[in-house]
Amino acid sequence: MVHHYHRRRGLQATHHYAIGSRVGTSLFQILLLFLSLWLPVLDNSGFALACGPGRGAGRRPNLRKLTPLVFKQHVPNVSENTLPASGLSEGRITRYDPRFRDLVPNYNTDIIFKDEEGSGADRLMTQRCKEKLNTLAISVMNQWPGVKLRVVEGWDEEGMHATDSLHYEGRAVDVTTSDRDRSKYGMLARLAVEAGFDWVYYESRSHIHCSVKSESSSAGKSGGCFPGRSLVRTEDGSTKRLDDVRLGDRIAAVDSRGDVVYSEVIAFLDRSPSERRQFIRLTTKSGRVLTLTPAHLVPMESGSVFAANVQPGDKILVSDADVASAKNEVDNRLRWDSVNETKLVIEEGVYAPLTMEGNLFVDDVVASCYAIVNSQSLAHYSFLPLRIWHSVTSFFLQRLDDVKYFATRHNDVSRTESTMRGEQEGIHWYASVLYSLSFYVLPSKMIYN
């Protein structure tokens, strides 16, 4: 009965499909006739869409009106060496400095380099600075046909600027137009802002100063880390510096129920003992200090946020055995503490341990193990395969029959993993893949910028 029912339904569907095809063909012919009659009219009226710039043929795009900067104005309206702008100076680069190899020459023919020293120093800059400068060169030619961008000062190796100047790191340039028409400099500054420079200053009647963030401060490179001198609490109640933590160590964390537990370190998402980076230092009302990279997630009362977005008055979770709360399952252990100060600092050594819980206590403050994506739960689920792999390998190792062989094998594996992952410098390969994918699959509002 079921067979005949489906057969009948199939015949009906085939019949309807045949009728629908004939009707569809007739409608298609009518549509073609309609278009052949009306397309010339629509085209003459300027309503037909066209390929190329603008919304339609002959219609000029609605360009946003650009407002020139005024003398002594800077964008953003903060100091150059702050997080919203170009950040702190990371130290002067000389030709004998290992970081000198990170500077790249700019041979763009659309840019005129003054190079008054005759050493080619003005052409040397960081990759980020080069990209923004090349973008600005295009904007200048579009704004004033026949006029080029002119660089009067780039990387400085002669000590002609202030002590903390970003010129010493190839992160700053002073620019004018090739015709040296000072009436254009206000608009030139605005074009520099639009080109993506992190700080633009109409510094002088004779030039515009532009600078960028350091390469190490980029989210893709720095991820989320803590400095090596930060302390974590171990299972025996003692503290240990992060640069002494190894795979397999159990350190204080918070589980899904809000209880304080000791969670195993299963990987280092980043480990660069000798690298210097910019960190945010959060100081609380009770004197707790948490130092971490700006892209790192911090649990707050309102949810996890990037460290760069934490403001004075926000509350973060700290360990405090002297405070009790009858309403909290973890009384005598945790409490919310107000942030008094946020400060940008330079620290050496970057470490990002990953625990099974996805968080940890750093200097007795609860912090996430994750960064770049503003969702703790999404980040934790993303690292599920890494946790599963660790659990599976641990399961089989624990069930080896020969205890002596197990002990030897376990130590060998631990040493091997420590060599491959714990002691290896740089970002963990799995984290690197996720960081790269996140920029393509997630909306921009979820990514640290």
Tell me whether residue 122 is annotated as binding. yes
Tell me whether residue 410 is annotated as binding. no
Tell me whether residue 116 is annotated as binding. yes
Q: In the structure encoding, which two tokens stand for residue 295, read together?
A: 């892209």
425 and 272 Cβ atoms separated by less than 8 Å: yes
Contacts of 114 (CB under 8 A, 6+ apart): 122, 150, 151, 152, 153
Tell me whether residue 341 is annotated as binding. no
Percent helix / strand / coil, the chain, rounded to 5: 35, 25, 40
Rg (CA), the chain: 30
Tell me phi and psi for residue 443, to 5 degrees: -65, 150
Tell me whether residue 296 is annotated as binding. no
**Using CA atoms, how far apart are residues 156 and 173, in angstroms rounded to an integer?**
10
Tell me whether residue 117 is annotated as binding. yes
Tell me phi and psi for residue 112, to 5 degrees: -100, 125
Tell me whether residue 380 is annotated as binding. no
Nearest-5° Cα angle at 171, 168 to 173:
90
Closest CA to 297 of 403, 221, 240, 376: 376
Tell me whether residue 209 is annotated as binding. yes
Strand, helix or coil for residue 149: strand
Contacts of 296 (CB under 8 A, 6+ apart): 224, 225, 226, 280, 306, 307, 367, 368, 370, 371
**Using CA atoms, how far apart are residues 164 and 82, in angstroms rounded to an integer?**
12
**Using CA atoms, how far apart are residues 340 and 401, in angstroms rounded to an integer?**
56
Binding site, annotated residues for Ca(2+)? 116-117, 122, 153, 156
Binding site, annotated residues? 116-117, 122, 153, 156, 167, 174, 209
Binding site, annotated residues for Zn(2+)? 167, 174, 209
